[in-house]
């Protein structure tokens, strides 16, 4: 079931658009990893720049899109390669 849910999450992430380019995070190859275990999905992404001004926004959009997938109970988003990745990760994953 894991791979099926992971595939559905990736499809959902195709709707998360970078407003500057008009392309999806998936099409821009900014989604590094999607893993699902028991309904808990972990997603790792890399913003298009280490100082991307919308990284907080994108992290929240990624989480929101993934939570719309049936059978997804919880989402953990990890931002990598951003100068504020620690703050982004803490903010988006607060319950």
Q: Tens digits of per-residue pLDDT, 46-92?
A: 999 999 999 999 999 999 999 999 999 999 999 999 999 999 999 99
- The total number of structural domains that make up the chain: 1
Report whether pLDDT(1) > 60.
no
- Compute how many other C-beta atoms are within 10 angstroms of the C-beta atom of residue 8: 19
- 19 is a domain residue: yes
pLDDT at 16: 97
Structure tokens that stand for 7 in this block: 């595939």
- 95 is a domain residue: no
- 51 is a domain residue: yes
pLDDT-derived band at 8, boundaries 50, 70, 90: very high
- 12 is a domain residue: yes
Q: Read off the CATH number of the domain in which 42 is found.
A: 3.30.300.130
pLDDT-derived band at 20, boundaries 50, 70, 90: confident
Burial readout 42-77 (b: 16 or more C-beta within 10 A, e: otherwise): bbbbbbbeeebeebbebbebbbebbeebeebeebeb
Determine the structural domain holding residue 66 and report its residue range. Answer: 2-90
Across the chain, mean pLDDT equals 95
């Amino acid at each position: 079931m894991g791979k099926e849910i992971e595939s559905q999450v990736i499809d959902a992430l195709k709707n998360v658009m970078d407003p500057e380019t008009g392309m999806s995070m998936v099409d821009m190859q900014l989604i590094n990893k999607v893993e699902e275990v028991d309904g808990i999905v972990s997603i790792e992404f890399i913003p298009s720049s280490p100082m991307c001004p919308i990284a907080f926004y994108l992290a929240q959009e990624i989480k929101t899109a993934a939570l719309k997938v049936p059978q997804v109970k919880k989402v953990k988003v990890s931002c990598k390669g951003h100068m504020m990745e620690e703050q982004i990760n803490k903010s988006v994953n607060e319950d």
